[in-house]
Structure 1
Amino acid sequence: MKYTAKAWLATLALSLVIPAGAWAQSILKIGWTTTDSPDDPYALAAHYFSDALKESAGDSITVQYYPNRQLGDEKQMLEGLRFGTVDAAVITNSVVAQLEPAFGLNDLPFLYASANNAYQVLDGAVGEQLAKKLEAKGVIVLGFTEGGFRHMLNNKRPVAAPEDVKGVKYRVMQNPVFIDMFNAMHGSAVPMAWGETFTAVQQGTIDGLEVPLAVAAGNKLYEVTKFLSLTGHSYSTNLLLISKRAFNKLTPEQQQQVIAAGKKATDAQRVKSAQNDAALRKVMADNGMAVNEITDVSAFRSAVAPLYDKYRPKVGSALLDQALNSAQ
């Protein structure tokens, strides 16, 4: 009896020393579809998130990495997040827009004039409204990380004006905004899952694709494409997401740590991505691609202007107007 009392007292004393929530050991498996490259924007978001959690949560939360589609393509991962079979993921905005159409706002061509302009909108009231809509469907937004501006790569010709897109088969995400964007410029939009794209370009099934520079370099697309045109036609934000079911299994303290880690990771990832951008242009050129700048985008804007009216009802008229006013 005396021994039992001592043991109980020792346990009680230890519980008073260890912070609340330290008993709970949690594992978060985070997936993304691209490589685990030091320049890849998806990988950067995952690693910065893990690093930030390690600082605040210690061993209470362990983040495990699943790059290269190990948890499925983005659409599959997003469904997994909804139903709790995937804990966390970094997913392209355009795929999220298939679940919550309001996110199509971010895919509208030439909406954001600069990355800082995008941060202003996404970190403000517009981003909050988008996050609430997605949370209602079982997925929590931890951050709008930097994907970078998207550019056109192809094997036919450099793109300097909308007419240069005509007749060229571009792989686009399985998203109606991107399909309509390329069709508006009389290109041939070919919706395709990311995992099939490299081989499709290599074999000539498609002529090219459109991605941010970091994705182009990280996946060595210079090996299968000749021309890189810095069209900057769309700003890509990659969403750092956690399943609401996985989030609700965490202690209140862990939940706050996850939210704070998401913000810290987003800020760090944006800084690193911006630093990488200029260097990545050189990487593409040094590996044999012909790179051209677009100095005047007015003709492109005119070509895609009808998309704003078409997608206003899906995005939400009030939300679109708020974003347009904030993006000025």
Structure 2
Amino acid sequence: MKKWWVSLLTVVVLGFICFPAWAADVVRMRFGHVAPPMHAQAKAAEYFAQYVEKESGGRIKCSTHPQGQLGSHIQMLESLQVGTLEMVSVAGSALTEFVPEIALTSMAFLFDTEDEMYALMAGPVGKKIEAAFEPKGLVYGGIADHGFKAFLNRKGPVTRIEDMGPFKWRVIPNELFLDNYEAMGASPITLPWPEVFSALQRGVIDGIDLTPNECWGAKTYEALKYMSLCKLGLNPQVYVASQVFLENLPEDLRQIMVKGMADAAQWHTAKIRQEDATVVLPDLKDKGFVINQVADAELARFRKAVAPVHQKWREKIGPALFDEALAFLKANRK
């Protein structure tokens, strides 16, 4: 009987000693974003979580946190820098406060197609933008987009630049976007996203800019009526990891993370494209949305209006990098 107790005690002690070592092999991480659970961005976060757990054989466990559960874009990025959060997907515009070079992907009326932005990011300009993340304690993982933003309004359509002034436009608290709206003759009102729907219903604001997919996914059509397609600019969503977190991972897990971010960004964009092609605009029309396309001649006037903004941000981004990007786009269009 005594031997039985000794054997049992030995097993328990060994189990107690070994458990922390086993537990230490499991890396637990969080992925934050502000999209609602039904949106492609949230589904891409789930895709990433499943990918890293599978590829790591369960050594990485990733929980996802939608709708700003872990804070605003800015708060989450600050958490990445100090290592208290592991990963996010955030709007490129929010990143401009940390990495000004990424503003190139959010410039108003800069791109003619979504593919131009991806071509830019895949080339020398993109590599320089990626390198700018590291000094900020951040790691660039990939980029997705939700399509081109449109002007959305509850009172009337935008068909020319003069239509901007009479409406009360919501803009995210971001210098680049504030610059754009002021250049277009509007007096923008800054509001965080959670307050937008209520503000539209109460008439505090009349309009916002979103991509058709974002309007559809967030159900803002319930408080809006008009959509003016104008290629205002892309709304890139950037996958970013904490440098502190990645540097403390074993090399094999670090590589899984890097590959997972790139794959999730590609999956994210593909999901948006699939939804846009099959359901988004037809469904918005069925819900009574009035959709118009801003004429090319009027778009030229919008581009002329924001030209001073481009010049201002050329200095913030870096004149050499900005000029290199413009030269690339010009050559790519030929």
TM-score relative to the length of structure 1? 0.89
What is the CA–CA distance in structure 1 between the aligned matches of 2:130 and 2:95, rounded to whole Å? 11
Once the two structures are aligned, what percentage of the paired residues are identical?
Answer: 31
SS of the equivalent of 1:54 reads helix
What is the CA–CA distance in structure 2 between the aligned matches of 1:234 and 1:180, rounded to whole Å? 14
SS of the equivalent of 1:58 reads coil
Residue 286 of structure 2 is matched in structure 1 by 286
Residue 7 of structure 1 is matched in structure 2 by none
SS of the equivalent of 1:299 reads helix
Residue 252 of structure 1 is matched in structure 2 by 251
Residue 84 of structure 1 is matched in structure 2 by 83
Residue 26 of structure 2 is matched in structure 1 by 25
Residue 162 of structure 1 is matched in structure 2 by 161
- When residues 51 and 123 of structure 1 are mapped into structure 2, their CA distance, relative to the original with a 3 A threshold, is farther
Shift of 1:316: 0.6
CA contact 1:41–1:214 (8 Å) conserved in 2: no
1:46 aligns with 2:48: no
CA contact 1:45–1:240 (8 Å) conserved in 2: no
What is the CA–CA distance in structure 2 between the aligned matches of 1:227 and 1:42, rounded to whole Å? 24
Shift of 1:251: 0.9
CA contact 1:22–1:60 (8 Å) conserved in 2: no
Shift of 1:312: 1.0
Residue 304 of structure 1 is matched in structure 2 by 306
What is the CA–CA distance in structure 2 between the aligned matches of 1:105 and 1:181, rounded to whole Å? 14
Shift of 1:208: 1.3
What is the CA–CA distance in structure 1 between the aligned matches of 2:252 and 2:23, rounded to whole Å? 9
CA contact 2:230–2:294 (8 Å) conserved in 1: yes
What is the CA–CA distance in structure 2 between the aligned matches of 1:226 and 1:36, rounded to whole Å? 24
SS of the equivalent of 2:158 reads coil
Letter in 1 for 2:246: F
Shift of 1:284: 1.8
Residue 98 of structure 1 is matched in structure 2 by 97
Letter in 2 for 1:288: G
Larger radius of gyration: 2
Shift of 1:23: 7.3
What is the CA–CA distance in structure 1 between the aligned matches of 2:43 and 2:148, rounded to whole Å? 16
SS of the equivalent of 2:85 reads coil
CA contact 1:153–1:225 (8 Å) conserved in 2: yes
Q: What's the CA shift string for 1:285-304, capped at 9, x where partnerless?
A: 22221111224122221221
In structure 2, stretches of 5+ residues that fail to align are 1-21
CA contact 1:106–1:235 (8 Å) conserved in 2: yes
Letter in 2 for 1:280: V
How many residue pairs get aligned? The number is 309
What is the CA–CA distance in structure 2 between the aligned matches of 1:207 and 1:277, rounded to whole Å? 25
What is the CA–CA distance in structure 2 between the aligned matches of 1:176 and 1:146, rounded to whole Å? 20
In structure 1, stretches of 5+ residues that fail to align are 1-20
Letter in 2 for 1:306: P
Residue 7 of structure 2 is matched in structure 1 by none
SS of the equivalent of 1:59 reads coil
Q: CA RMSD in A?
A: 2.1
What is the CA–CA distance in structure 2 between the aligned matches of 1:125 and 1:195, rounded to whole Å? 37
CA contact 1:75–1:95 (8 Å) conserved in 2: yes
CA contact 2:28–2:61 (8 Å) conserved in 1: yes
CA contact 1:113–1:327 (8 Å) conserved in 2: no
Shift of 1:232: 1.7
> Which deviates the most, 89-98 or 42-51?
42-51
Structure 1 segments (4+ residues) deviating >3 Å? none
CA contact 2:173–2:191 (8 Å) conserved in 1: yes
